[in-house]
Amino acid sequence: MSRNTVTEQLTKAGQAIEHSSFSIVDAEAGDKGGYTDEQWPLVRRMIHATADFEFNGLTEFHPDAMQAGLEAIAAGAPIVADVEMICVGLSQPRLSHFGVQTHQFISDEDVIKTAKAQGTTRAVQAMRKAHRLGLLDGAIVGVGNAPTALLEVLRLINEEGVKPALIVGMPVGFVSAEESKDQVAAQQYIPWVITRGRKGGSTLVVAAIHAMLALAEGREKNI
């Protein structure tokens, strides 16, 4: 079986450590939460990134999530993130292999100005700006920090007909984080991957997308 080259660690030593870590996760995870063969690599990488086995169970998938994400990556669809941390955390060589570009607008001056003027959050205005720029339709939307970004994406879907390819909704925190993810999962129109409850974070979104990139490269090799 051929191994990925673009989405692997760059050195043999790094690859060996990562593969050993994945093997340990597999061994300690037990029943693997009933996830499918395509879903488990994503959950495993999230556990690997956090050393938190609770994500084996807290992570939930829309039935079409993996297919939607892999097709979006293969098509070079953009990734729209709520915060810069996600864009920085994603491997540029891996993204470039598929022609995928990342976008975030949380610190743009116009976003900050409008948020102050309208009494909203920067995250809300950042998603509205992404919509104005035509970036949300067909995109992978990654939210790891701001529940209000996730709620705004849902509003844009419901009220303005926006249609992302996939929502990776994993905001962390105590105010609206859990509720925003519950609302994403309550709709079945747009595929999603979420973490239930308060746990989440940008690290998890990065891990999830890296897992999808690896799976997408594997698909290329099998064509």
Q: What is the pLDDT of residues 16-55, one digit of tens each?
A: 777 788 888 888 888 877 899 999 999 999 999 999 999 9
| Identity of the amino acid at 9 | Q
Let me know: does 143 contact 82? Beta carbons within 8 Å. yes
Cα 51 to Cα 145, 148, 206, 218, distances in angstroms: 19, 27, 15, 25
Look up the CATH number of domain 57-222: 3.40.50.10230
Those residues with Cβ within 8 angstroms of residue 117's Cβ, 6 or more apart along the chain or in another chain: none
- Number of CB atoms found within 10 A of residue 85's CB: 18
pTM for this entry: 0.93
Q: Cα separations (Å) of 194 from 53, 62, 75, 109, 171?
A: 15, 9, 23, 30, 9
The residue count of the chain comes to: 223
Q: Which helix (H) or strand (E) holds 16?
A: helix 12-29
The pLDDT of residue 1: 42
What amino acid positions are annotated as catalytic residues?
A: 48
In the chain, which residues have pLDDT < 50? 1
Write down the pLDDT at residue 12. Answer: 75
